[in-house]
Each structure stands twice: as C-alpha cells, then as structure tokens.
Structure 1
C-alpha cells in the first residue's frame, strides 16, 4: 500500500471515528442541567406547600404533552398556592418531552431542596415553579447564559487572523441576521412559537445554526419583542464567540457552529456550501449564572448524577481531543504537497462545494459550454453592455428562454466573495423591482451569472440619449422613480436580509418588456443586522458621482448611503443628464450643484429635460424637491426610503426645506469638459472616476 493511499484511508478512518465519538458526546452533553434556586423562602417536608407542589408537578407533566409541549397551571390555595410552567423544545416528540419533564420534577427537588421558587433547564425542556403568581407575566426572568469558550478568531478555521476584528464583527452581524430570522419564524410562522435556521453567507465563515423559542401563550409581537431583547443581550455578551445561548423561562435563543437541533431548519440563508464544525466537547460550554441564584450541594442525588455525567463527558472529551490531534496530523500530511496560500484557501471552491451548490434548487448550475452556445461564444453581436465587473451578453437557451449573461472579467476585481454574495443575495430576495437570478456557472477562472433577460436594457440607455429620451414620457418616468424606491425600501426594511446596495445607479436599473424597473448588480451589497445602523470599510467601492460623501471620504455606509444614490438618480431621471458629466457653460458645476443653484433662485424649470416640457410641472418639481432632500450632506438630514415614498405619493405632505447638497463645488475634470456636449442640452456619456478611493 502506497503512503498516499495509507494517508487517504487513515484520514477517512479518523474522520469517521471523530464524528462518531462527537455524536456520543452530544448525547451525554444533552443531559447537562442548568438550574436556579431562589433564596426568598423555603417550605418544609410534608407541609401543605410540599403537597401542592407534588400535585402541580403531576398536572404539568400529564397536560404538557397534549398542548404542544407547553403547560402552565396552579394548585392549592393561598398562602400555600403553587404556580408552575413547563416548556419542551419544539423539535422533540411527545415521548422525549414526557421523559424530560419527568426527570425535571425529580431533579429540581434534589437540586433545590425545599426552595419555594426554582427553575431547571435541560437542552430539551425547562420547568419553573413559584409561590408567586407569574403565569400571566411577560417577564423573561431567571436568565441563564452559556457560551462556547472559543472565539471566532481563535484560529480553529483556516485563514482567520486572530488579531483582526473584521472577521469577528462580520461574524456578529451574520449571527444577528440568523437570530433575527429564526425569531421572525418563531413569532410569526409557528404555532409552537419555535424556529430553527441555518446561515452560510461567505466561505470565510463556518455554517452557523440557530434556534429560538417562546412559550406558545405569547402573542406574535410579544414573542418577537422578548426574542429581540435576548438578541441584543446575546450579541453583546458573546462578542465573537463560536456559540452561545440565553435560557429564559418565557423565551430563549441559541446559536452554534454545529447542528444541535433535530430535523431540517425552518429557514435557510445562503447555500450550505461549507461543512459544519463538529460539536465541541461539553466542557467548551461555560455556564454563567445570575449572582442571586444559589448553587446546591453536590451531596444530593442530583449532584451525584451531575458528577457522574461530568466524569463521563470529560473522559469522552479527552478521547475526542486525542482523535482530533491525530486527525489534524493526518490532514497536514495529506495536504502538505498541495498547500495553497492563505487567500487561495479562503476563496477556492472545491468539487464538493460545487456539488452542494448545484443540488440546491435556489442556485441552478449551468455548464460553461451551455452558456457559450447560448451567447454564440460570447459574440460581440450579442453584447448588451459593459458593467463594472465585466460585459453582459444576450443569450438564448435550447428551450428558447432568453437570458442575460454577466461574464465577470478575470481582472475585474470581483472575486469569489462578491460572486457568491451576488448569487445568494439575489436568490433570496423576491420583489417585483429586483432582478431575478436564474443560475450561475463557474469553470476555472470563468465566473458567470445568468439573469432574466431585460429586453429594454437599462435606464441609462433611455434617459441619457437624445434620440431615445422621448420614449420615456413623464408618466412612465414617475412609475420608474416609484418602482426603484419600492425596491430599495424592500432591501432596507422588508426583506429577510437587511441589505445596503452600495452601487445604485442608472446602469444598474434594468427595464423589462413593460418598462418596469428592476434593481440589479448586488456584488457590492452588504448585509446589516436588525439593530445595525452604520458600518465602516477600508475598501471603498462603487461609482463616483453616486457615492455619499461619508462613504467616499471615510468608508462609512448605511441605508442613508443608498438614499443619497437614489437622490442623484432621481435628478438624472428628471433632467436627462448625468451627475458627473454635466456642465453649465463656463461654470463647471456638477448636476447637484446646478440643481441647488436653480432651486435657490426659484428657476428649476431649466433643470427639467426638454422632452418633458409639455407636461405638468407640479409633480416634477416635487420630485426635484425630494431629490435635494436625499442628497443633503449630513446623513441624518436625509429621509428614509419610507419617507421618500410618502413624499412622492402624498401631495398633502409638506416637505421640509433641503440643505445644501454634498459635492456642491465639485467640478468636472478637464478631460470630461473637452469630450462633453457643450450646449448642455443632452446627456453626457462621460463618467468621472478616481483612483482613490477604489471606484468603478
């Protein structure tokens, strides 16, 4: 047997052994008990309270299985009345629920002997009782938090830099997005108030699994508010941790980088293109308890059981650690001759990943020769235009379906992260004003995206051309203006993933057969968490002239960055002129400066495209007013897209006065002046670009 074959066989053997042992440890870890005993009062054995408590336990255990794993009840009369609540995890069956609850009623009396208030939590169920009536309260008290002791930048994953906070911050954002999604699922789409999900946005991070649950007696909004409170706490407490959970009586959350729930996830963000890291040992979860809770003595029966579980778990953990060391050694041998650079290892797509992607109905995989045949081998006659990252071609598949093919240039600067970002974002976004992705293709250095075909090309094809501008009357232009706003509002507020586009411009607004606008090109888009208002980047990318000033100069971007771009685009639609290709005779102000100048002197009619001169000016003037509000220099002064739609569609709303726009004094370069239309009546085709910051 050759050494390479021995290495391959050993690798498979130890990988399998590691997985089996980890699954064994999972069963042991599931027996972990977290509990809280109150010191507010005690009862005596054989007392009325003791009898009432036993009756309460009996009623809770028998009723809970029939009521979706949840029950709350009271027994006895004051002052010895008892109140209790039980909740089983939504992914277990009634038999497992009943077993867990029966164990909890035994263990809680051992762990919290004679305590009048106590809470006990397992992986699969929880039980709380009290001498106070809390059953109608929404208070999520007695929180117990647990977290994985390993940080996301701790070096367990190839290519991660432990000294760089960028990965950790992005990980936190992705976790926030996942937990918000599963919380929405639990609150609004599940009778059990239970939701699970998985997210895998980028190859540089592991697959992350999440779970959320409320008690079923909560209303939709009460459940969501309870879970949001936990999300805010969890992201702050477990900054960059590879896993964590907060256990509350009324709602709870958990995320891990391994599968910990039963069945398929309810929601899925992105394709499962990576392999989840195996379940870490139980000892990696470090519990923390509130200081008001008392730890019980280990001399009780429950304490002995816990000691036995800890010993077994520790022995299993040591065995797993030994197997894992051997596993890493074999893996190092296997890949020593073919080790790539750190960047290549982060961005490479394996055959296994390609197969996983191709099996997903959300991401149909085309063969490269199919696309080449459909576009007549990317013939220049089929070329529709040139995007920032490469040319776009028209194609016809064998079944007659017309497609638009975006072929990324190998020197375009759009790498695998942007390519995968665009695939996964567009496939998960469903809105009539967003372009629809049909599939993708990757072969060697070739990266291709396949979209629905837009027969009327892009918005700039009409508004910046003197011979075609008349084809878009004001009624249709206003429909386009409103459609773009609706698409942005969906991205910012109503989609499952909160998206900042970062590259909105006329050429990225496509028009279908009925001239309906569809926003395209999501390669630079960024995901925001529900509570995230602003982010910062050292890599400023986009198109100069549409970039908000805070983004171009400082790398700060938010939903208000897209609002700024929308304001520029709105002025371009009304005037028929490019922002950075326009000049007014000897005074080389950009379009924003010219619009502001005309606004101040009360003569904005000179700004309106001549093709629109025969229509009513009132609605056009209102659009210019809204545009100037959008391009104000301070992001806080700009409206949200919700406000923009209200301003555009509701005439009785009094609009605020705009402040001076950003880039007011920017002038077009000498090169642009020499090549633009000197009479200023038509749209210039000149783009002004900078070498720093990085733009396109």
Structure 2
C-alpha cells in the first residue's frame, strides 16, 4: 500500500510538472535584420540596468541608446504585472534578458511575455532598432494554449456566451486607463459561470498606449485564441503591446483581491468553435475539474494509456508514444476530420506525401486545414508521425509550416496542418504555365525565407534539428508567396553540443542529398546546407536537378546535371545563361544579386563539408546590401545515379 501511494504520488507530480512546464513557458520572438557594430554594445548597456530601472519606476520603463544615422540605435521597453513584488519582478526580467541574449543573439528586434515560475510573476521585454513608444504593435505574437480540452457541457452555447461576456468585461476594465498607477491598463477578474465555479482572466497593455489602442490590441489577442484554440481549458496570447490569459485556476498571484462575479449570459452569437463532440451528461464532474484538476488530469492520463494499449495490439509507435508529448496541440476526432475532407474524397486530395495522402479540409467554423492521412501499417509512416508531432509541437516560426494537431484512433494516424493555398514550390519552378509568377523579387524572398527557417531549426530554436529532406516539394507557399518549410518526418533532433550524426538508413531524395550522407550516412547541419544549395540553384535556373537516372537523361537529351551546368557557366563567366528567362524581362535583374546567389549556391554544394558555409553566414550574405567577400568555390561533383531505380529513399 505504501509503495503504491508513493508511486502514485510520484506519477502525479511528474505528470503535472511536465504539463505545466510545457504549457507555461518563456516565448521568444526574434525578428528583424542581424545587427553589426555597436548595436550589440548599446543593447547590452541598456539591458544591464533594466530590471532595477523597471522596479524603481513603478513597474514600467523605456529607454533608448545610440543613433539611427549610425544604425546602432536601440529602444527598450519593459514592464511587470501590476501588483508585482519588487524582487520577483527583477528576477523575472533578469532571466528573460539572459535567455533573450542566448536565443536571439544577433537579431535587432525581439519581444517576450514571460512567466517566472518560481515567483509566479509575469514580465515583458521588447527591444527594437526603432522607437515603438506610444505605438500600437500587434505583430508578431506568441500563443500558449492549455493542453487540456474542455469537456462537453449540457449547453455549450451558454458556455460560449458567458465566456464572451466575461472576456468583454475584463477587456473593458483593462482598456480603461487607471491614472492612479503607472501600469494603468490592467484587469484581473474571477467569474462564476453556470457550469464552472471559477474562471480567471487577466489582461494588460503597455501604459504608453491610448485606451482605444489597448482595447484593439486585447481584442486581437482574444480573436487569435478563439481562432486557433477554442475548446481548450485556457491559454495565453502575447503581442508586443498587450497580453491576455484565461484559465480555470489562479495564476501569477493576480486574483487575491479579485471579487467573484456571476457572468450574465451574453446575447451575442458565439464566435468560438464547437468542436462537434457529442453532448454528454456532465452532472457532477464540472466541480471536480475545477476543485481537483490534478487528480482528474491523472485519471485522464491513465485512461488514455490504457485505451491506447487496448486499441493498438500491434507493436510500434502507438505503444511507445506518449500522448502528452503533443499536449500543446489539439487531438482531433476522426469523425470530424472525415467530415471535413468529405470522407477523404479524391476531389479534396491535394497530393501525395512521403507516406500518405494529403487532403484539404474545412472545419465547422470555416477554417481550412490540410490533412495528411498516413498509410496504414507503414512502420516508417509511424516514425514520421512521431517525428512530426514531437518536433513541430515545440517549434514556432513564420517560415515553418504549423502543425495544428493530430488524430490517432485505431489504425488511423493523421496530421493536421494549417492550409497553405499555393501548394509547394516545385509546382511553380518546374511548371511552364506558373513559373512566370516567380518573379526575381519573389524568388529572392523565398530563398531568404527558407534560409531563416533553417537558421531557426539549426541554431535559434530551443531544439537543434536537421531536416534531412529539404527540397522544393517540401517548401509550401502561402497566399503572399511566403515560404514555409514542411515535412519533418525525416528530421533528426541533435543535442546542442552535437555537430554530426550517422545512420545506417539513408532517407531523403537523391539529387538533394549531400555526398557524405548519400554514401556514408553521415549527416549534419551542412547536409541541409547542401540541399538548400541545390534548391537555390533550381530556383535561379528554373531547371530540375535531374541527374538521378541515366534513362531519364537519355530520354530528355540531357548529358549533364544541374550542378555541372551551373559550374560550367559560372567558370566561363556566362551568368546570364544560368538565369531562368521567365524570372524577369531581360536585363532587368540586378547583376550583383545574380552573381551573389549563384556564388552562394555553389558554396553550398561543395563536396568538402568544411567548405560549405553555415546557414547563419548564408543569411547574412543574403540580407547584406553592401559588397561582401565570400570564399571562392571549387569544382563540384555529385552522385550521378542512385543505387536503386527510385529517386526517393525512405529507409
């Protein structure tokens, strides 16, 4: 009995610890150009005294240092939650400053709303290379949902109406300036709903805003939460100018003086999504969810594990996969996805992935999604499913495709992504009818965007990830032709101090594989750089790297591959012959950009790994508008044909 109690208590502690660790965490957004010169010195000088200055000035402080004319001006804004304890505020800011320097070491702009768990305090830091004081800043933003889904209530419509009324009341109070405090835009409310004893909401704006701007900022936060994570038991949304969080439990020690208010039902039509679950009897359970959420979560956890084992007799991913590894995403119901895709009809099919088909779907609230249904019984498909869920749960970048959730019921393994309307890059590069849409400016922007996505994977995220299958078909394009790196099924997670790995199973696509990987199974960040170089040269030339199969070459009359072709023309000084004529009218492309991109592409595909640049160097070169010095490339070779008739290999 004693051992059983200790084991149960330990499991409960570990489960809640990891749940809270994943749900409430520091979110950093690094953006803007990379700085050089004195910008970093000025930034560090401002940040060194920032925590004390915030506390000494009532919880909010802004300052600037440097000159815009010299490109080294830094503008810093920071605050803590109203009612903060001085030491807790300072500690929070000290930690976020250290983490920001570590995770955003070179960017000119960053912002974060941070929870300091040890002291249960909220603080905010933002610095930019231009003044933002008094200006409404809505983007970028961070969003952290509660991992738990709200159970179906007797009347979900009533819950939605009451929730909206609670949020509106909190918002109006927060955006009404209270001149008695430096932190004048703030509200923390505790509301009793019909079927939930206590719901807690907190909103805060930076005090340099006008009331109308604060109101707009908070409404944008609420709308974003409803759009992405309606149906969760809470969550937080942070924008540079404001913050919103709600939950079914107290947080930040913000509600000690909050009076419980009964929320009147709102008559406004709810904008939140009813996830389509069957209504069930909830009598007696709603109180327990609030009073003892830890126990209920543990019961759910054990139930899921037991259910998992009952439903999946075969060995593999499902038996070893922990459903709470993907807790920051939504677990979709299979019936909902089948309805959204019209029963996975051919008319909704977008294409074929590595181990399954991809369909377009439309959720009940009108949101468009992409649904990847993995091939049943595929062991490698199981690995892809696990990789995508475990990695994309923890990654957030504008140049990475967003994984919205997953479904694993019975033999079904399904991944649900944001819908990207312009499909993949290869559909434009290699299609004569569409290629003209890829103007030179668009191509350059796509190349930069992919580089930023890779930099995030290799260096700037909390994980270190090697993609291993970077190619044009795995670059998706949104409505504005912005690139998003996709398909992380083959990706590998590295330790932060690890530089290379080796595998006996070579996976990926020939023609994009680095020689050391295709031949010996050795991979590193430089393997992704090689693939990036091939893709870059394809974009510049409009030609596919077809040197994969001799029969295919003979049919099309091509005796040399893309890399040979580019190197030959580069060596002869015939740069214009490399450029796709559909990229822009003749003589309308900057010659320096042409030469720079070809030069970078050839450096990326060097046979010698040590001669390839890092993705960080590549991005600096791409973003530089001044003359730059790059290493001189050497002649390149590549794998002339794969050891099997197929050009794709997935282990």
- Correspondent of 1:624 among 594, 598, 606: 598
Q: Could you tell me which residue of structure 2 aligns to residue 382 of structure 1?
A: 348
Partners in 2 of 1:21 and 1:669 — Cα distance? 55
Distance 1:596 1:375, change over 3 A: same
How far apart in 2 are the matches of 1:368 and 1:455?
23
Give the 3-state SS of the residue equivalent to 2:431 in structure 1: coil
Q: Report the Cα distance in structure 2 between the residues aligned to 1:357 and 1:608, rounded to whole angstroms.
A: 46
- Are 2:647 and 1:689 equivalent residues in the alignment? yes
- Matches of 1:427 and 1:191 in 2, distance apart? 22
- Does the Cα contact within 8 Å between 2:513 and 2:530 map onto a contact in 1? yes
Deviation at 1:547, TM superposition (A): 0.8
Using the alignment, how far apart are the partners of 1:438 and 1:340 within structure 2? 24
Match of 2:580 in 1: 609
Q: Equivalences for 1:537-552 in 2 at 5 Å?
A: 537-552=503-518
Partner of 1:590: 561
Q: Are residues 587 and 611 of structure 1, via their aligned partners in 2, closer, same or farther at CA, if it must alter by over 3 Å?
A: closer
Displacement, 1:405? Answer: 0.7
- Which residue of 630, 636, 646 maps to 1:655? 630
1:592 to partner: Cα distance: 1.1
Measured after TM superposition, the shift of residue 17 of structure 1 is 4.5
Asked whether the equivalents of residues 475 and 485 of structure 2 are also in contact (C-alpha less than 8 Å), the reply is yes
Q: 2:363 maps to what in 1?
A: 397
Pair 1:625–1:339, CA change in 2 (3 A): closer
- Does residue 449 (structure 1) correspond to residue 415 (structure 2)? The answer is yes
Which deviates the most, 589-598 or 464-473? 589-598
**Structure 1's 455 and 652: CA in aligned 2 closer, same or farther, altered over 3 A?**
same
Q: For 1:58-457, what aligned pairs fall within 5 Å after superposition?
A: 344=315, 347-348=318-319, 353-354=322-323, 356=324, 360=327, 362-410=328-376, 412-457=378-423
Alignment partner, residue 534 of structure 2: 568
Distance 1:611 1:434, change over 3 A: same
Confirm whether residue 532 of structure 1 aligns to residue 498 of structure 2: yes
The CA distance in 2 between the partners of 1:19 and 1:181, in whole Å, is 35
Aligned partners of 1:477 and 1:573 also within 8 Å:
yes
Contact 1:382 1:393 in 2 (8 A): yes
Instruction: For residue 610 of structure 1, report the CA deviation from its aligned partner.
Output: 1.7
2:480 corresponds to 1:484: no
Shift of 1:549: 0.8
8 Å CA contact 1:589, 1:668 repeated in 2: no
Instruction: Give the SS at the match of 1:666.
Output: coil
Post-superposition Cα deviations, 1:442-483, rounded to whole Å, max 9, x if no partner, equal 122211111111111111111110011001111111100100
Q: How far apart are 1:660 and its partner, in Å?
A: 1.9
Deviations 1:513-534 (A, max 9, x none): 1110000111111111121111
Contact 1:459 1:510 (C-alpha < 8 Å) held by counterparts? yes
Question: Residue 662 of structure 1: CA displacement?
Answer: 3.4
Aligned residues of 1:463 and 1:469 also touching (Cα < 8 A) = yes
Question: In structure 1, the residue corresponding to 2:526 is in which secondary structure?
Answer: helix
Moved more, 595-604 or 394-403: 595-604
Which of 631, 634, 640 is matched with 2:608 structurally? 634
Counterpart Cα distance in 2 of 1:435 and 1:540 = 24
> What's the offset of the Cα at 1:695?
3.6
Shift of 1:19: 2.2
CA offset at residue 621 of structure 1? 2.5
Other structure's SS at 1:443 match? coil
Task: Give the Cα separation in 1 of the matches to 2:325 and 2:115.
Answer: 28
The worse-fitting range, judged by mean Cα deviation, of 577-586 and 459-468 is 577-586
- What does the per-residue CA deviation read over 1:205-257, in whole Å, with 9 as the maximum and x for residues that have no partner? xxxxxxxxxxxxxxxxxxxxxxxxxxxxxxxxxxxxxxxxxxxxxxxxxxxxx
Partners of 1:193 and 1:656 in 2: CA distance: 48
How does the TM-score come out when normalised to structure 2? 0.51
> Are 1:16 and 2:18 an aligned pair?
no
Contact 1:499/1:528, CA 8 A, preserved across alignment: yes
Distance 1:375 1:586, change over 3 A: closer
Question: Would the aligned equivalents of 2:567 and 2:635 in 1 still touch at CA under 8 Å?
Answer: yes
Q: Give the drift of 1:510.
A: 0.5
Deviation of 1:420 (Å): 2.0
Per the TM alignment, residue 389 of structure 1 is displaced from its structure 2 partner at its CA by: 1.6
Distance 1:396 1:182, change over 3 A: same
- The match for 1:66 is none
SS in 1 for 2:597: helix
Listed one character per residue, the Cα deviations across residues 136-158 of structure 1 (whole Å, up to 9, x for unaligned) are xxxxxxxxxxxxxxxxxxxxxxx
Residue 617 of structure 2: aligned partner: 643
Compute the TM-score of the two structures, normalised by the length of structure 1. 0.48
Cα separation, partners in 2 of 1:15 and 1:589, compared to 1, 3 Å: farther
Tell me the SS of whatever aligns to 1:434.
Answer: coil
Distance 1:409 1:386 in 2: 10
Gaps of 5+ in 2: 15-97, 106-111, 121-305
Cα distance in 1 for partners of 2:344, 2:311 equals: 35
Distance 1:529 1:194 in 2: 29
Residues 589 and 666 of structure 1 are in contact (CA less than 8 Å); yes or no, is this contact kept in structure 2?
no
The 1:447–1:637 alpha-carbon spacing in structure 2 relative to 1, beyond 3 Å, is: same
What SS does structure 2 have at the residue aligned with 1:542? strand
1:653-682 C-alpha deviation (Å, 9 max, x unpaired): 12221112231x7269999xxxxxxxxxxx
Give the gaps of 5 or more residues in structure 1: 1-12, 27-179, 196-333, 672-687
- The answer (yes or no) to whether the contact 1:439–1:451 under 8 Å persists in 2 is yes
